[in-house]
Structure 1
Amino acid sequence: MGRNDIDEYNNLILLCKVHHKKVDDQPETYPIEKLREMKAAHERWVKERLSNKSTQGQPQFIQLYQIKTGKDIANIIGDAHVFSFDHDEQNTEEEVELVAGFLQNLQDWGETWSEMDSGQHVKARFMLTDEIKGIEAAGLLVFGLREVRKMKLKTNNTAFDWEVATIAVVHPTNPGIIKLGGQIFLIAATPGPGIV
């Protein structure tokens, strides 16, 4: 590959700061061919999602747990590979700003979690608890779940486990809310089995 080809599309892969460092620090785990396969698999996944054609069948439903503390939500978002955020339609501009800021903060915290020290984790959990209280004061509820989903490469059927953080901010009137044994759950749709 010539020097002029280094910045060509075929040689580029977009990664967040955390995963960029991980790939750079572990070249034997992430050789060039594996990175190319991962990029191709992700491009197929995006193309499929944007074309609204699902080869994975019907969506599956997952049970999200109500989140009340920053510690609980940090356990879901910390070092996740993928974030899946959802929310109800907002009724006011204030709700829009509140929910947008909250979800963006969750993604930012999740992507930088491994770079933070223990003291920063304590402070982040405290701030997240305050944000959840603010969401609840606005009449909304927070639900979440962390799960592992498979991403399979089409070229050689290699499967990767991806940690997916799913968070939903909804109104108490959302029809997916179920109250059971003193706990509140949200039944939410997610893409069918496998990410790709």
Structure 2
Amino acid sequence: MTISDKTRKILWGRSGNRCAICRQKLVLDETELDAESVVGDECHIHSGAARGPRHDSTMDVETIDSLANLLLLCRVHHKMVDDQFETYTADLLRSIKANHEQWVEEKFSERADPQPVRIKRVQHEIPKKLLRINSGAQLFNLAIDCGGTYQDHSDDLNDDEVEIVGGFLQNLRDWVDIASDLEPIDKVRAKKAINDELESLRSSGFLVFAANERQRLEGGSLGPSDFFVLHLAVVRADDPNILNSEQEVTER
């Protein structure tokens, strides 16, 4: 008989890819030049050979390659237990195997399942009003560290206005996406380009308002972390939501 694929998979799984004695990894990582290396052996507690270590003549031949008669060892300790079979008796090997598999089980159970990743919004961090943006530098600096954007705009746009407003929103997102890779001169250019678009929007009868919101990312394998999201609105200059005295707009 031979060890079945199912038995082999169960043995390696319960042993956690570790030697039951030294607990070293039994599959070594690949290198730049070579594939992975397997340095573990599926070892028999009772040998099937008449002169083999710990041979038991009363043992049913059908059970020689069974899971109960196997343990996983590195090649050094495989040779050791077979050479020193008077010391490493069948009962001792069964005890070593049981203790090791319990250790593997406890190690895996120590790793709590990661919680689902979710975004937590805090009520007092959500802006009730957005401030009017007066320059490209002001908007660029507000948006540069944000991990996302809530965009809003007036609803009754004609075809030309769709291009103007939509182009501005898209160009701003493109600048923010690459902001961390920009050299100082490129950041100056970005601020000027945004400022030019703000002027174009103003001449077309639109104003831009923005504010940041702090949100929290929770769950997963890492600890919670805060990040900012940009609230951005492009609205007509005569929009009733604009508070002219404060140059603010209420969230729509």
The interval holding the TM-score normalised by the smaller chain is: 0.5 to 0.7
Pick from 229, 241, 250 the counterpart of residue 164 of structure 1. Answer: 229
The reply on whether 1:102 has 2:204 as its aligned counterpart is no
Question: Residue in 2 aligned with 1:144?
Answer: 210
In the superposition, relative to structure 1, how do residues 165 and 56 fare at CA in structure 2: closer, same or farther (>3 Å)? closer
User: Superposed, which structure 2 residues align to 1:1-196 within 5 Å?
Assistant: 40-42=116-118, 62-153=128-219, 158-180=223-245, 183-188=246-251
**Structure 2: stretches of 5+ with no match in the other structure:** 1-112
Q: What secondary structure, in the 3-state scheme, does the structure 2 residue paired with 1:41 have? A: strand
Separation of aligned partners in 2, 1:67 and 1:169: 10
Bigger drift between 136-145 and 74-83 goes to 74-83
In the superposition, relative to structure 1, how do residues 120 and 61 fare at CA in structure 2: closer, same or farther (>3 Å)? closer
Separation of aligned partners in 2, 1:177 and 1:41: 36
**Aligned partner letter, 1:186:** V
Separation of aligned partners in 2, 1:90 and 1:117: 39
Percent identity over the alignment is 26
For residues 45-68 of structure 1, give each alpha carbon's deviation from its aligned partner in whole angstroms, at most 9, with x where no partner exists. 6xxxxxxxxx999xx552111011
Q: Could you tell me whether the CA contact under 8 Å between 1:80 and 1:111 is conserved in 2?
A: no
Structure with the bigger percentage of helix: 1
**Aligned partner letter, 2:239:** N
Separation of aligned partners in 1, 2:212 and 2:159: 29
RCO greater where, 1 or 2, for CA within 8 Å and sep 6 or more?
1
Considering only aligned residues, what root-mean-square deviation do their CA atoms show, in Å? 2.8
In the superposition, relative to structure 1, how do residues 160 and 89 fare at CA in structure 2: closer, same or farther (>3 Å)? same
In the superposition, relative to structure 1, how do residues 87 and 152 fare at CA in structure 2: closer, same or farther (>3 Å)? same
Separation of aligned partners in 2, 1:41 and 1:65: 31
Separation of aligned partners in 1, 2:189 and 2:199: 16
Normalised TM-score (structure 1): 0.61
In the superposition, relative to structure 1, how do residues 99 and 107 fare at CA in structure 2: closer, same or farther (>3 Å)? same
